[in-house]
Copies of this chain bind each other. A is one copy, B any other.
Amino acid sequence: MTRQPSGGTGTIRQLLERAAAGERRALGRLLSLVEQGGDVADEIAEMVHGQASSQAHSQAAVIGITGAPGTGKSTLVGHLVDGMTSSGARPAVLAVDPSSPLTGGAILGDRIRMDGVAGGRAFIRSMATRGHAGGLALAVPAALRLFEACGYGPLVVETVGVGQVEVDVTRTADTTVVMVAPGMGDAVQANKAGLLEVADVLVVNKADRPGADDARRDLEHMLDLGRITGQTQHWRPEIIMTTATTGAGADQVHQAVRTHRAHLADTGRLEARRQSRIHQEVLDRITRHLDTAASQYLSTQPDELTEALKGHKTPATAAAEISKHLLSNQPP
């Protein structure tokens, strides 16, 4: 493996040892490298993999939390993390949400409180939604494995539930919590955004506001109609009413998450989800390789591209011809 200006194999191994021993700054540095992507991120992944293989498989729970902006995700995550640390766990949070107050957003009170938590047993980290080499799809699982290798768990991924990439990030969690709030990002809008189809647990936040009961009824109705199937058949997502600002309902959310995970484990589906997570990551990484090959080929200004730019061919025809050229015709 080639040495990188940012470290080299020896330095990364040292960082990993220090992070595994509990040094927060070393973990922070590794997460930055993972977020940047590329060869160094791959090198870290290889080392974490080697280390994990020599340990007992820890199987930290992965919990996705998503919903429209303003539904109160970060505030609820704060209460969940409080509950987890109180019961002796070492949760880690990855906030893939440009507006998350967990990591420097709008709500100062929350930020201070979360800084207090972060100074203790929990680890909170934000990840930009843009600018990754290879994209969020690669950086998120790599960061989660790093957290797990350093003894953290449960692992919470908070994403804003707008945008296909962002919703897909939660698709591979063990349990996905979808939040709606009366008026803002309500049940109907969440359904349109494709959020409800990934829900294992449903939360109606701002339960004290007008319209909360309507939102709950809408969700019940969609469940009755079979429009929310969850990620797992034979599982009807529980609907929990919360008031994230006071923390009311947060314990029930945590309990519902544990109940769902126990259900997955009992039915053998936990392992199936983990396999599907690896399958998806292999596919995402192949996509990155193929995209690179396509961009490189286009940069040679092939005739098919020139014809499309001149309007002599449609983009569809040019793309079909170039794809045929790029792909190997060997049988699998």
Contact = CB atoms under 8 A, between A and B. Distances in A.
Interface string A79-104: 00000000000000000001100000
Contacts of A42: 316
Contact of A316 (B129, B285, B298): B285
B319 A285 contact: yes
Nearest to A319: B285
A297 interface: yes
A77 to B, nearest CB: 18
A118 interface: no
A129 B163 CA distance: 7
A267 interface: no
A278 interface: yes
- Tell me what chain A mostly uses at the interface: helix, strand, loop, or mixed: helix
Interface string A282-304: 11111111110111011010101
Interface in A317-332: 317-320, 322-323, 325-330, 332
- Identical copies in the complex: 2
A287 to B, nearest CB: 6
A315 B139 CA distance: 13
A302 B282 CA distance: 12
A96 to B, nearest CB: 11
B194 A129 contact: yes
Interface stretch (A23-31, A226-234, A306-314): A306-314
Interface of A: 42, 45-46, 49, 53, 68-70, 98-99, 105-106, 128-131, 135-136, 141, 160, 162-167, 183-185, 189, 192-194, 275, 278-279, 281-291, 293-295, 297-298, 300, 302, 304-305, 308-309, 311, 314-320, 322-323, 325-330, 332
